[in-house]
Amino acid sequence: MKNLFRKTWLLAGLFAFVLSGTLRADEGMWLPIYIKQLESRMQQMGSKLTAEDIYSVNKASIKDAIVSFGGFCTGEIVSSKGLVFTNHHCGYDKIAELSTTQNNWLKDGFWAKSNEQEIPAPGLFVRILVRMENVTDKVKAAEDPEAAKAEMISAAEKEGAGYEAEVEEYFYGNDFYLLVYQVYKDIRLVGTPPENVGKFGGDTDNWMWPRHTGDFSIFRIYADANNNPAEYSPNNKPYQPKHHLPVSLKGIKQNDFSFIMGFPGRTQRYLTSDQIKKTISVDYPMSSSIMDVKLKTMKSFMDKDEAVKIQLASDYASLANYWKYMLGNIYSAKNSDFIEQKQAFEERLQKWIDADKGRSEKWGNLIADIKKIQTADEASNKLGNFLNFGYFGPAIVGAATRFYQLGNAITNDKKQPEKVQAQLDRVKAGLDKQFKEFNATVDEAVFVELGKYIMANLPKEDWPAEFSGEAFQKMKGANDQEKLKAYAANMYKKSIFANRAAMEKFLKKPSKKALDADPGYKYMQSVIGLYFKVMGAAGASEQAEGELMKEYMQAIREFTTDKPLYPDANSTLRFTFGSVQGYNGVDGKEFKFFTTADGILEKEKPGDLEFDVPKKLHDLIVAKDFGRYGNNGDLNVCFLTTHDITGGNSGSPVIDGEGNLIGIAFDGNWESMVGDLSYQPKTQRTISVDIRYVLFFIDKYAGATNLIEELSLKQ
């Protein structure tokens, strides 16, 4: 079967899906162009929409209101003037970047009461899917597949203003789809709650339920006079979308149908049990322990200085989120049987393969061969984890790495000054952000603490060459750890990557000689040397594993005739549907599907970094001054659904059966952390902020009635 959606496959798969219930309605990150095949089941669950209402290239549909926010999150258009709702943590980086100690939008919140007050967010963009097309047969039939892809992309990008296209792989390179987007680059901050609302609960509550986080922020898309994408200009006008989501005030109840559209980042649902065991038992414990060193070091400085907290907030939040994600995966693996389920599936698959001579000759050793790769080079795997989170952990190393190509261009392209200039332009473009988020004192401490951890856990042959070099050995100190501290002090004092003025001076007259003499660049080069060492050892096995996985996926698709299969997430638009439901935890504890504002006061700890509550919000809750957003004297804050999401879905709209916005997805629960590897129907839940809490905050707390009036509210 070359095509996932051959008619023969659909008849068999959907027959089982609809009649026998083999596939749970809440599992699956479906490609939107095939929603028609899911329409009947959704309508049985309570949807009043047709497939064309949700995804259409011939008329305005819900997909036209869904945006890829910055390439890493999702957002939804909620007004005829291009207003976009997304998560607070999706806007966090830009909010922090736009904040200063004088105008601390991150800490205090921000609300534009007119278009003129909205703040441009340079570098931020949104992508709206125009269409997607299955081009598998075209790619596979081409003599030169890469040239064929390039031709498709070129033709598609000529179809409209601001169009960008790409050909993406699905099912481990067995299928190919052309995706065409319209990209808008004039995006402005409109509103955000203060951090102690948008991030209420902090790292403690992250990935946890019950939740009381007002995780939302508001932006606006701007376009030129013809409603086409344009770079920022004060003359641009609010974008007029083909469709925007109405916003529901009705509220929700147990078992209500709903769906999510968004851009989930990455799942690996088809990995073998051996691949999963390596990830959960080896990679995640190792990587999370390295990350913990950096996080604790950063936090020790951030807790003492508000300016440092603002400066490092985005980097810290991103790292802490990934760190806790890994811990959650480890926890979930210990408290579920999904690995055993994988093993049982592999046994059935192997029996099916062995039952046919042709299949046996083609795939008989697939599972065993994949297993061999997992333990082929444990030393290189360990070094790879330390490279990712240890050696590349200090910001100075990442900064120097961005100059690696410039150094090569100066050396190799002397007779092609345009190539050198292109590299100069590239590094200059990132300098403002680089130094805005760089704190030399903190980064030096991170460098030292990570270095100590590396020295304690890796053999000397896996240390950077710099540590055995003359400069390092001449440093004062009775042992390597003491010399490391002196080495770091010298590097951060003398490197252009730790000093903006020195960097500007270098860029006026760049030379490879100056780079090679820079202590930060020298250290980076020795780290790159380790990187190539790992790549040399792991590159061949990774390629072999990729080829095996392509074959393994083919075998799974032929074997699986009782249910339709969906491809792993890859940051392209997907659709997931399910219902509003609570769950029972692994310890048997029952969790309701919603939380209320009373829980905010129960968690409140005045002055605490994670559980402080703004006085105005506290007073509104105590007075039960909820306005029309209340629910019988309460105010719903967050709720649970059975939707199948992952990172990248953050900010996705939760939409009811009539096409109205009822919430904004922002997290998964602790028990669902293995969801990227295996969907767990009994405990996996999506956590969303109730849209009524969002509206209450905009209206009653912020007084931004201009935004409320802009929405299409449904009673």
DSSP 395-429: HHHHHHHTTHHHHHHHHH-TT-HHHHHHHHHHHHH
> Running DSSP on this structure, what letter comes out for residue 1?
-
pLDDT tens across 584-631, in order? Answer: 987 788 999 999 999 999 999 999 989 999 999 999 999 999 999 999
Per-residue pLDDT for 271 more than 90?
A: yes
Percent of the chain at pLDDT exceeding 90: 83
| Distance between CA atoms of residues 62 and 84, nearest Å | 14
| More reliable by pLDDT, 510 or 600 | 600
For residues 643 and 581, the answer to whether their CB atoms sit within 8 Å is no
**Does residue 575 lie in a domain region?**
no
Q: Which of 536, 554, 577 is the last residue of a domain?
A: 536
Is 579 tagged catalytic?
Answer: no
| More reliable by pLDDT, 80 or 20 | 80
640 in helix, strand or coil? strand
Q: How confident is the model at residue 23 (pLDDT cuts 50, 70, 90)?
A: very low
Catalytic residue among 495, 526, 650, 652, which?
A: 650
Q: How confident is the model at residue 415 (pLDDT cuts 50, 70, 90)?
A: low
Per-residue pLDDT for 12 more than 50?
A: no
Q: Which two tokens stand for residue 19?
A: 């009649």
Instruction: Give me the amino acid identity at 581.
Output: Q
Residue range of the domain that includes 530:
273-344+377-536
**Does residue 80 lie in a domain region?**
yes
For residues 128 and 66, the answer to whether their CB atoms sit within 8 Å is yes
C-alpha dist (Å) from residue 407 to 396, 398, 411, 533, 644 = 16, 15, 6, 20, 45
Same domain, 194 and 296: no
Q: What is the pLDDT of residue 10?
A: 31
Q: How confident is the model at residue 16 (pLDDT cuts 50, 70, 90)?
A: very low
Q: Which of 245, 265, 289 is the last residue of a domain?
A: 245
Token pair 């980097």: residue: 315
Per-residue pLDDT for 13 more than 60?
A: no
**Does residue 566 lie in a domain region?**
no
Same domain, 207 and 285: no
**Does residue 77 lie in a domain region?**
yes
Is 244 tagged catalytic?
Answer: no
**Does residue 510 lie in a domain region?**
yes
Instruction: Report the number of distinct structural domains present in the chain.
Output: 2
Instruction: Give me the amino acid identity at 409.
Output: A
Q: At what angle do helices 519-559 and 366-374 cross, to 10 degrees?
A: 160
Peptide bond connecting 210 to the previous residue in cis, omega within 30 degrees of 0: yes
Q: What is the pLDDT of residue 527?
A: 95
pLDDT tens across 307-326, in order? Answer: 999 899 889 989 999 999 99
Catalytic residue among 88, 89, 212, 244, which?
A: 89
Same domain, 280 and 232: no
Same domain, 396 and 461: yes
Q: What is the pLDDT of residue 22?
A: 37
Q: What is the pLDDT of residue 20?
A: 32
**Does residue 642 lie in a domain region?**
no
| More reliable by pLDDT, 15 or 668 | 668
pTM of the model: 0.89
Is 650 tagged catalytic?
Answer: yes
Q: What is the pLDDT of residue 432?
A: 87
Q: What is the pLDDT of residue 6?
A: 28
Same domain, 499 and 416: yes
Question: What are φ and ψ of residue 482, in 5° steps?
Answer: -70, -40
Q: Where are the alpha helices (DSSP H) in 437-518?
A: 440-457, 470-473, 480-494, 500-508, 512-517
Q: What is the pLDDT of residue 21?
A: 36
Q: Which residues contact 337 (CB under 8 A, 6 or more apart)?
A: none
Output the average pLDDT for the chain: 93
| Distance between CA atoms of residues 104 and 304, nearest Å | 17
> Running DSSP on this structure, what letter comes out for residue 92?
H
Q: What is the pLDDT of residue 468?
A: 87
Percent of the chain at pLDDT exceeding 70: 96
Q: What is the pLDDT of residue 386?
A: 95
Q: Which of 520, 536, 552 is the last residue of a domain?
A: 536
pLDDT tens across 152-162, in order? Answer: 999 999 999 99
Q: What is the pLDDT of residue 7?
A: 29
Strands 66-69, 126-134: pairing is: antiparallel
Q: Which two tokens stand for residue 524?
A: 């980076």
Find the mean pLDDT for residues 228-249: 98
| More reliable by pLDDT, 153 or 437 | 153
Work out the number of other CB atoms within 10 angstroms of the CB of residue 470: 7
Same domain, 310 and 458: yes
Q: How confident is the model at residue 9 (pLDDT cuts 50, 70, 90)?
A: very low
pLDDT tens across 276-288, in order? Answer: 999 999 999 999 9
Same domain, 192 and 88: yes
Same domain, 187 and 72: yes
Beta bridge partner(s), residue 110: 192
Which residue, among 518, 653, 574, 601, has the nearest Cα to 247 in the 3D structure?
A: 653
668 in helix, strand or coil? strand
Q: What is the pLDDT of residue 299?
A: 96
For residues 171 and 4, the answer to whether their CB atoms sit within 8 Å is yes
Q: Which residues contact 97 (CB under 8 A, 6 or more apart)?
A: 121, 314, 433, 436, 437
Catalytic residue among 93, 186, 215, 612, which?
A: 215
Length of the chain: 715
Q: Compute the C-alpha angle 655/565/336, nearest 5°.
A: 80
| Distance between CA atoms of residues 626 and 630, nearest Å | 5
Strands 713-714, 247-248: pairing is: parallel
Find the mean pLDDT for residues 231-245: 98
Question: What are φ and ψ of residue 436, in 5° steps?
Answer: -65, -35
| Distance between CA atoms of residues 8 and 31, nearest Å | 18
Same domain, 202 and 78: yes
Q: What is the pLDDT of residue 653?
A: 99
Q: What is the pLDDT of residue 377?
A: 77
Same domain, 211 and 322: no
Find the mean pLDDT for residues 673-695: 95
Find the mean pLDDT for residues 658-662: 99
**Does residue 700 lie in a domain region?**
no
For residues 581 and 28, the answer to whether their CB atoms sit within 8 Å is no
Q: Which range has the worst mean pLDDT, 253-257, 476-480, 539-543, 578-582?
A: 539-543
Q: What is the pLDDT of residue 375?
A: 82
625 in helix, strand or coil? coil
Same domain, 427 and 491: yes
Question: What are φ and ψ of residue 254, in 5° steps?
Answer: -55, 135
Same domain, 221 and 297: no
Q: How confident is the model at residue 11 (pLDDT cuts 50, 70, 90)?
A: very low
- HSE-CB for 136 with a 13 A CA cutoff: 15
The sign of the torsion formed by the CA atoms of 605, 606, 608, 610 equals positive
**Does residue 352 lie in a domain region?**
no
